[in-house]
Amino acid sequence: MSETLDAIFQRRAVKVFEPVGISEELREQVLNAARHAPSSFNLQPYNFYWVQSDAKKVTVAKLCLGQKPAETASALIVAVADLGSLSATLQDQLEWMHRSKFTEEKILDYERKAKIGRILFMPGPFGIFAAIKWAFFRLLNLRMVIGIPPLFRHDLFKWATKSTSLACQNLMIAVEALGMNTCPMEGFDGRRLLQYLGLSGRHHEIVMVIAIGKKSRDHNEPPQWRRPLDATVTVL
């Protein structure tokens, strides 16, 4: 079994951590693993907030409803779906393509797709543009097989959450492979945590908070149950 599979099968949601520090090198490694996850159109619609100072951890742990993993973690990672970053990401990738000497044809093709993306991903005031595009795609779908892109703001957040979750899984597997442990948490006061981070609910949504540290010496690893393959997988 490869080391990667070992990390996947050994990973558990650890509830109590030892008071150990996390090196800057490890922090960079796991965050690099996160940003190398696949994302739709390579738009990487997320940001990670690494909380490690004692005072800030105490505040964030309270906003995570005082859960034990949050209170004992060496660091907390707030994973945020970020719709406000899309334009800057498109521009950054375009500049990178120029610096990397991509052919003019490929750069023009990327610019064309970026323009289409901007049109598709623009809900407009009060979602008016989204409603018009939704009606257009529904009519088109009556005549041909076609997917409907995320049009309304709640659809865009759902789309961004998928990419953010993939990045979070990369991060947790990397942490396990490097000898540390994690606990993903969905229990938090999203509104207050956004305010604490100085973020706007219009463009940002917290997907999860990940506690990271070294599992307690008293940690008891119970057997893990998962549904069997034949109850989970359908082979067509």
Q: Are the beta carbons of 59 and 196 closer than 8 angstroms? A: yes
For the segment 198-222, the average pLDDT, to the nearest whole number, is 93
The whole-model pTM stands at 0.92
Q: In whole angstroms, give the CA distance from residue 89 to residue 134.
A: 25
Cα–Cα distance, 60 to 209 (Å, whole number): 9
- Give the residue from 46, 58, 6 showing the smallest Cα distance to 161: 46
pLDDT, the chain, mean: 93
Cα distances (Å, whole numbers) of residue 72 to 22, 75, 156, 207, 214? 13, 9, 34, 21, 10
Q: What pLDDT, in 10s, does the model give residues 114-154?
A: 888 888 888 878 788 889 988 988 999 988 998 888 889 99
Residue 62 pLDDT > 90: yes
Q: Which residues contact 125 (CB under 8 A, 6 or more apart)?
A: none
d(CA 109, CA 112): 5
Quick one: which of 69, 65, 30, 72 has its CA closest to 50?
30
